Structure formats: C-alpha cells, structure tokens
Structure 1
Amino acid sequence: MAEFTFKNIVNQRNLSDRFEINSAATSREEIWGNRGNPIYPPAQEQLRRHHIPFTDHRATQVSIEDYRRYDYLVYMDRSNEINLKRIVNGDPENKCFRLLDFTDSPKDVADPWYTGDFEQTYEDLVNGCNALLSLIMEKKNG
C-alpha cells in the first residue's frame, strides 16, 4: 500500500518525473520460489476505496543493489529495520528511515495483516508519505 500511496501523492503534485518509487520486502515470507505474492486483497480494496491506482505488483526482497541505487529506503516498523539493516550491512550511508519518523508522531506503522485496521494504516501512510515528500522537496530546493 505504501508504494502506491506515495506514488499517488507524488503524482497529485505533478512530480512523478522526479522520482523513482518502488517497494520490496525485508523478508521472504511473501515470496514462494521466484514468484512473490500480489498485494493483499484487503489492501487492494483500501487503495480502491481511496481512488489510488495500482498495478499487479508482486513481492520482491530488498537487496544490496537497491541500497546502492536509491537515496531513501523507508521501512514501516522495527522488525523491518532489523531485517533491512542486516541486508544492507548496517546502513553505512544512513539511507534507511522509518516512515513515521518523518512526522510529528514517530511510531511504527501498524501492520494491518495483524490489526485488520487498513484505514488506520492508510492514514499513517498518507501522513508519513506527505512528510517524507516535504522533507525531500525542502532538501532539493534548499
């Protein structure tokens, strides 16, 4: 949900040509063999409810190549942080950030798989993505 929420926010501000936005898992739980699972159906429904376009995204695992390629690797919770930093050798370039640490309410994004509260997760994603975009634009324009 986070990838497409952020893409939608960036697109609404006519900034899509300035960003490359992708998502990847920090574990292989959603990847069977070489084929990742699609977006969880209730998450798809949440995106539809908010008129956010999405594609047939399949889970992949984040890699050290992703770390080299991207400026920001944003994770949702402390469990993701542990896995991500293991994969990227401890984050020596300080590129890994918890999404809601960009907001006035730093905390983990609750996983709706466990909570069942897709609306709260969506609201957290919107808040975090808006705050992240503001920070990036300030840095680019500053």
Structure 2
Amino acid sequence: MGNICRSPSAEGVLRRLVQEAGLQNSIQVDSAGTQNYHIGDAPDGRAQLAARKRGYDISQHRARQVTAEDFTEYDLILAMDWDNLSYMQQICPKPLRHKLMLLMRFANDYEEATVPDPYYGGLDGFFKMLDYLEDACQGVFEIVSKRVKQYQAA
C-alpha cells in the first residue's frame, strides 16, 4: 500500500532476474503504492535487511504512489493483495483493466492468493514475504522474458 515493503522487494527480485538475463533494455520494472503514506521514503529497514541477506539491494528505492500514467506505460500491473487490486481496478481506465492481476497468480510453489503484509510483524514475516516474491517473480519473469525473446526474434 505504501510502497516500502512488498512492492519494492518484488521490484528488487524482478530487477535482478532481468539483469541476470541481460534484458534490462527490454524489460522495465518499477513499483508503486496505492496510498500516499510514505511517498519519498526508503523501504522499511526490515525489508532492506531481509533483501540484503538474499542478495538484493533495494536501498535506493523511494516510495511513490501509482499514477494514471502507469496504466498506459506498463503492460502488466501486479498487486500484492485483494485490497490493492480492488483500489487499482477502481482508478484504472476500463479498457486497461486487463493489465491488473495478483502477483501470486504467477507462483509455482506457493498456493496463496496474496502476499501477506509483513509491516506489523517481525523480521520472519519479511523473509516469508521474500519466499513468496521470489517464487511469483520467477513465474512472471519466465512469461515476460519468453514474450520479449519472441518479439526480438520476429
């Protein structure tokens, strides 16, 4: 919601997958919150610590709120939970709503529909969040990178 825990962590996971594949010129990754609670703030310290322990650096991220332009700029807009998805469905132009999905739809190992918000818990919740994000982001990356390679081959 505030773009300081789940979404910047997912951005960090997905960015690394994109960079490792050498596709940073073809795949753009960003994150935003649905609320304006933390605009301009760095990610939560616990999110940064958990990410750093898994080899992701999210320290340079600064929270921002989703904008109307995001719905036209991006091909895929992923929500962490039902509340965020619902909010984006309300503000997204109707012809672009097909771009909105829950991130966990792409998970292979976890069957949960949403990524739990670790903000009000302990550090263990941030590591569990990363387990979910790594799984789902790998699924997203497999689909997106396959499409990119098809476009490049055409």
TM-score, normalised relative to structure 1: 0.87
- Name which of 46, 63, 70 aligns with 1:59: 63
Of all paired residues, the percent bearing the same amino acid is 26
Give, in whole Å, the separation in 2 of the partners of 1:66 and 1:29. 19
- Name which of 101, 105, 115 aligns with 1:101: 105
Residue matched to 1:137:
145
Listed as ranges, the gaps of 5+ residues in structure 2 are 1-8
**Alignment CA distance shift 1:91-1:39 (3 Å):** farther
Equivalence map 1:69-80=2 (5 Å): 69-80=73-84
1:94 partner SS: helix
Q: CA deviation at 1:14?
A: 2.0
Q: Which amino acid aligns with 1:126?
A: E
Residue matched to 1:12:
20
**Alignment CA distance shift 1:141-1:58 (3 Å):** closer
**Alignment CA distance shift 1:39-1:135 (3 Å):** same
Say if 2:107 and 2:136, in contact at 8 Å, map to a contact too.
yes
Residue matched to 2:5:
none
Give, in whole Å, the separation in 2 of the partners of 1:54 and 1:103. 22
Say if 2:34 and 2:88, in contact at 8 Å, map to a contact too.
yes
**Alignment CA distance shift 1:106-1:94 (3 Å):** farther
The alignment covers a number of residue pairs equal to 138
Listed as ranges, the gaps of 5+ residues in structure 1 are none
Give, in whole Å, the separation in 2 of the partners of 1:106 and 1:71. 24
Q: CA offsets, 1:102-129, max 9 Å, x none?
A: 1242510011113431111001000010
Give, in whole Å, the separation in 2 of the partners of 1:93 and 1:113. 28
Say if 1:85 and 1:91, in contact at 8 Å, map to a contact too.
no
TM-score, normalised relative to structure 2: 0.81
Say if 1:8 and 1:53, in contact at 8 Å, map to a contact too.
no
**Is 1:110 matched with 2:151?**
no
Say if 1:63 and 1:87, in contact at 8 Å, map to a contact too.
no
**Alignment CA distance shift 1:51-1:81 (3 Å):** same
Residue matched to 2:3:
none
Q: CA offsets, 1:7-50, max 9 Å, x none?
A: 0121122222211111110111223xxxx221000001011101
